[in-house]
Structure 1
Amino acid sequence: MYRAQGAAASEQTGVPGPGTLAEARRLLLKAERLADRLQERPPGWVEVTADDFNLDGRTEVRLQSEGLTAWIDPVDDRGFHELDLRDIGLSLPLLTGRLGNGGHGGPAAWLLDPETSRDEYVDGTGKLLSMGPQGGQITLERPGGSAWMRWDSAPESLGPRIDWRIGMEAGDGRRLLLEGRVAGLEPRSLRHLAVEIPLGTGELEDCYGYDRDGQRIELETLDSMPEGDWLGLIEEQAGVDWSLGWSPRSPAWRVRGVATDLVVPHWTFQADDTGQWAFRVELTVDTSAVQARQLGQLARRAA
């Protein structure tokens, strides 16, 4: 903890730059992992907690396992704003807190113009309405040892919205589950929705995609993907293996976020008789390759 404080204060200006801030965050995650050992947690543990973790006077939600932490700020335009790969000490600020970015309690999501292209999505001209819960409240759920945050809009809410359920299952703490329910639409109306999901650490070298059969896909071909429901990403230098699944099937775009790449499934769908529609996303992160590399380095130093 003291080393993290020292890293954050090491710049001559007293304000941490990107490099020193990343080092401070890495050391904080290492301190967290050491503290885990004192709590004698069972294998495969997951937990969900709500508190003012960053001391800004507002409540944040932390979904955590041995390997991952997902930070969710239940305030409009913050949403799912950070993902920590705890077991390798890497923090990925998603920066979904900028005004008007569609964060709203979960991943950034937008209703789109029907003819929106990837370029129009990136420059914002195809976005019609940012989507998220309206009022309501957050509920923390722990069924069967799993950990979930549910945000339901207030019963009197009007207009288009998304209510989110985000969580981790016990024994599967490398997988983050996101369930969205769109509501407030006209019954049987046709709509177009895009949701941004982080995929990757931001590394640009030695990276490639792959499909369910393990066939390699060059990144340049992923900017506009045809209809599908799954994508894998190998980052050889970082040693991280990502996979993203979404349902129902849809086309997807790959765009650059602030710190990571984003995969953006975009659906054309018809609301049901009550003006609702549901979707699901699963994000899995495997860091076993980088952990094996770290163990090998320790063994060589010991020798």
Structure 2
Amino acid sequence: MSRVRLVLALHDHQPIGNFDGVFEESYRTSYLPFLEVLRDYPDIAITLHTSGSLMEWLVAKKPEYIDLVRSFVERGQIEILGGPFYEPILASIPSRDRIGQIVAYSRYLESLFGQKIRGMWVPERVWEQQFTSDIAAGGIEFLILDDYHFRAGGLRGAELRNYYLTEDEGKMVALFPGDEHLRYLVPFQKPEKTIEYLRQVADERPGCVITFGDDGEKFGSWPGTHESVYTKGWLRKFFDLLVENKDWITTCTLGDAYENVAPMGKFYAPDCSYREMTEWALPTDRQQELHDLVKSHEHDADWPQFKQYLRGGFWRNFRVKYPEANEMYCRMLTVSDRLDAMSRGDLPVIDEDFLSEARTHLYKAQCNCSYWHGAFGGLYLPHLRNAVYTHLIQADSLLERVAGKTGRYAEADAGDFDLDGRTEVRLTTDRLVAFLKPSRGGHLYELDIRGARHNLLATLDRRPEPYHEAIRNHEANKAAAAALHDEDTHAHHKGDSSHGGTIIPPSDDEGGAVSIHDLVVFKQPDLDKRLGYDPWPRKSLVDHFLMPGLSVEEFRRGEGEMGDFPLGVYETTLRRSEGRAEAVMSRTGYLTRFPIRVEKVVAAISRNGSLEIKYGLSDLPPGRPIHFAVEFNFAGMAAGQPDRYFYDAGGRRLGELQETLDLPETDRLGLVDEWLGLDAAVELNEPAGFWTWPVETISQSEAGFEAVHQSTVVVPHWEFTAPDDGQWSVTINLTLDTSAAQAKQLEEPAAATVG
């Protein structure tokens, strides 16, 4: 009888910044029950990877789980995989940080479990061949990629078994192909289906190794899986079948296979990830084209032959698809570069004690989930983006201390801070860091508040996504069904069978749960009515000349713009004085057919940690009505909570931060987030009306389609008649009180470092 070796490799992960309740729920529904079942099957061996962010939580909150894993390790039933500590995409971080994270996590795991770390999990299986030498330098001997990588490189069928050797600059690593078909069988089809497939594999290539590598959360945490895997007993049935067929199925770890089975040969994997990830990395319209192409040909007789040559996009292009991901990436690089220069002695170091702590915050900020978007929320989840910036700001502030910067200071410098080939401006004080983009409207695109450890402009634009069409189609189909039902009711007097705003995920006819990739669930009704797209980035200091009498709802829809300033190019000079750093930006543009000039001077002031913005308009057409507005966005200050609210000049509450407001003229509007400990206010020397509204994206997550609050728009706007000299000016102060946040931080325990 033909035999087969089966590697079961599980990857458990929760991102930096995720809610504690999500960690707890995943532990209760997935991580713990899986091991409790495995404990009853001592002959079944698995390979287990747990990301560092999750492992640190388990060590702190669930020490009994660590003891349980250690007991499996000691009897040889579990092999521990390493990898980069905080689960960064390897393509998103410098080589030095790849090696540093891998080495740091291996040391941590070896001290925790007493097992030498030889293999690793590649985050999201995003692969580029040059990673090989970094991985080998980190002490790793073998890893898992998807069989999709190997198919893209020209292999197929029985060639996708065992493992291959690869090299870069003479450094070698073994690559195991993770079987895609197994990923869709386990645990979504009857266990017998997996055994049948393994029989087929064994007959095709007797004695081979087949590898299953996928998320551990699919065993209980993904929607519907806890009931199928545990309550209905899928996992026990599967393990029972493995035991019943142990005469020809041997479960083994990656290390066992590496030691006892010869490699298939040498292979250089092309740059890619798992199939779905390559699709998500494409621009939205190309993603839809690929989907349609597959649908139109997947039943063709020759589809199996040519599908492996049909490839999606390249992971790094997420930074093009989502500029917000690029902003995080570039900010991370500036911190990493500075830390590296200090570590090597290229920059002066006054106090080295904080370098290790800064490195830990940098590594945490490299956690991958916020840098891309697919079937999970990822980039669309504000709390994950906020966590990235929290750690970057902490690292940056620590490096300021390493450099000996104490007391009050203010600096201004220029450079290509977002790697687009154009020059940006950075204003730095002991209280804040502000990034300005003269080449795009003179926008303020990042505002890091040191005291609150918060980027007030970690915004996200509303943009088309492929699944938005599914939302529209669902609502259209529901409306059509309702119309038919009304006709039927009129004719036959039958009752209503509508299920409201949610498509219930279909049950699998094989008795398992439905794959997360096939779920169609609506978490809120009427999402199609909330779809909308932003004509300019949701940043601050976006300059608008509007139609006189324009309403807040019209402007919210992107109507009424009469100037070319929101995305125009501004000329810039820098100025610095004691405790003050300034960027002077100016532009001659058009208000309809009239050329006018706008100058805005943005000053970062160390004394009070505020931004002062002075606007000067000139060459206005005398006697003409002018409607000038300056758009601000405030991100990370949550909506729908009573402790996050607006207040007026008299300190009176005006409603929560998701409110749409149309306020009469006033000289001050404040926003408070008590949980964050931040009180921000827009103060004017020339009273203005204020508009506010929430920016909500409609996005896809593992739980379904949902509306997510991204930022609060605040727009002071002035309507006046242009004076005879064509001149008008206003001064805006953006004040930032972080005293409550700093008081909370004094109560925090000291953070551990990763070395």
Query: TM-score per shorter chain, which class?
Result: 0.7 to 0.9
User: In structure 1, what is the Cα distance between the partners aligned to 2:537 and 2:729?
Assistant: 18
Q: Bigger radius of gyration, 1 or 2? A: 2
Task: Describe how 1:247-262 pairs up with structure 2 within 5 A.
Answer: 247-257=685-695, 259-262=710-713
Q: Which residue of 2 is the match for residue 210 of structure 1?
A: 647
Conservation of the 8 A alpha-carbon contact between 2:584 and 2:602? yes
Of residues 458, 468, 489 in structure 2, which corresponds to 1:93?
Answer: 458
Residues 94, 269 of structure 1: alpha-carbon distance in 2 compared, 3 angstrom cutoff: farther
Shift of 1:284: 0.9
Supply the AA of the counterpart residue of 1:267. W
Q: Which residue of 1 is the match for residue 740 of structure 2?
A: 289
Q: Which residue of 2 is the match for residue 8 of structure 1?
A: 366
Three-state SS of the structure 1 residue aligned to 2:637 is: coil
Q: Which residue of 2 is the match for residue 50 of structure 1?
A: 414
Conservation of the 8 A alpha-carbon contact between 1:109 and 1:130? no
Supply the AA of the counterpart residue of 1:224. D
Supply the AA of the counterpart residue of 1:69. V
Conservation of the 8 A alpha-carbon contact between 1:5 and 1:24? no
User: In structure 1, what is the Cα distance between the partners aligned to 2:635 and 2:388?
Assistant: 21
Whichever structure has more strand as a proportion of its residues is 1
Q: Which residue of 1 is the match for residue 423 of structure 2?
A: 59
Task: Describe how 1:87-166 pairs up with structure 2 within 5 A.
Answer: 87-91=451-455, 92-94=457-459, 101=536, 107-131=541-565, 137-153=571-587, 159-166=595-602
Shift of 1:37: 0.6
Supply the AA of the counterpart residue of 1:128. M
Judge which range, 49-58 or 216-225, deviates more. 216-225
Residues 283, 135 of structure 1: alpha-carbon distance in 2 compared, 3 angstrom cutoff: closer
Supply the AA of the counterpart residue of 1:290. A
Task: Describe how 1:226-237 pairs up with structure 2 within 5 A.
Answer: 226-237=664-675
Of residues 596, 603, 607 in structure 2, which corresponds to 1:171?
Answer: 607
Conservation of the 8 A alpha-carbon contact between 2:571 and 2:585? yes
User: In structure 2, what is the Cα distance between the partners aligned to 1:102 and 1:160?
Assistant: 23
Residues 229, 199 of structure 1: alpha-carbon distance in 2 compared, 3 angstrom cutoff: farther
Conservation of the 8 A alpha-carbon contact between 2:588 and 2:596? no
Question: For each residue in 1:116-151, what CA deviation from the matched residue of structure 2 results, as whole angstroms up to 9, or x when unmatched?
Answer: 111001012222224369766311011233110002
Supply the AA of the counterpart residue of 1:61. V
User: In structure 1, what is the Cα distance between the partners aligned to 2:727 and 2:733?
Assistant: 21
Supply the AA of the counterpart residue of 2:694. R
User: In structure 2, what is the Cα distance between the partners aligned to 1:271 and 1:152?
Assistant: 19
Shift of 1:290: 1.6
User: In structure 1, what is the Cα distance between the partners aligned to 2:749 and 2:662?
Assistant: 42
User: In structure 1, what is the Cα distance between the partners aligned to 2:737 and 2:723?
Assistant: 37
Shift of 1:14: 8.1
Give the gaps of 5 or more residues in structure 2: 1-335, 337-358, 464-533, 697-709, 751-755
Aligned residues: 295
Supply the AA of the counterpart residue of 2:598. I
Q: Which residue of 1 is the match for residue 16 of structure 2?
A: none
Could you tell me the TM-score, scaled by structure 1's length?
0.84
Supply the AA of the counterpart residue of 2:552. R
User: In structure 1, what is the Cα distance between the partners aligned to 2:371 and 2:627?
Assistant: 46
Three-state SS of the structure 1 residue aligned to 2:563 is: strand
Q: Which residue of 1 is the match for residue 678 of structure 2?
A: 240
Conservation of the 8 A alpha-carbon contact between 2:548 and 2:625? no
Shift of 1:215: 2.9
Shift of 1:190: 2.1
Whichever structure has more helix as a proportion of its residues is 2
Shift of 1:101: 2.6
Q: Percent identity?
A: 29
Three-state SS of the structure 2 residue aligned to 1:292 is: helix
Supply the AA of the counterpart residue of 2:536. N
Shift of 1:233: 2.0
Of residues 620, 626, 637 in structure 2, which corresponds to 1:191?
Answer: 626
Shift of 1:100: 5.3
Shift of 1:240: 1.0
Conservation of the 8 A alpha-carbon contact between 2:661 and 2:691? yes
User: In structure 2, what is the Cα distance between the partners aligned to 1:294 and 1:81?
Assistant: 26
Q: Which has the higher contact order (CA 8 A, sep 6+)?
A: 1
Supply the AA of the counterpart residue of 1:231. L
Question: For each residue in 1:19-55, what CA deviation from the matched residue of structure 2 results, as whole angstroms up to 9, or x when unmatched?
Answer: 5544333222111111111232342222211112233
Residues 227, 221 of structure 1: alpha-carbon distance in 2 compared, 3 angstrom cutoff: farther
Q: Which residue of 1 is the match for residue 432 of structure 2?
A: 68
Question: For each residue in 1:223-269, what CA deviation from the matched residue of structure 2 results, as whole angstroms up to 9, or x when unmatched?
Answer: 11111110122211221111111231121111224732121111112
Whether 1:280 and 2:731 are equivalent positions in the alignment is: yes
Superposed CA RMSD in Å reads: 3.2
Judge which range, 253-262 or 63-72, deviates more. 253-262
Residues 133, 48 of structure 1: alpha-carbon distance in 2 compared, 3 angstrom cutoff: farther
Three-state SS of the structure 1 residue aligned to 2:748 is: helix
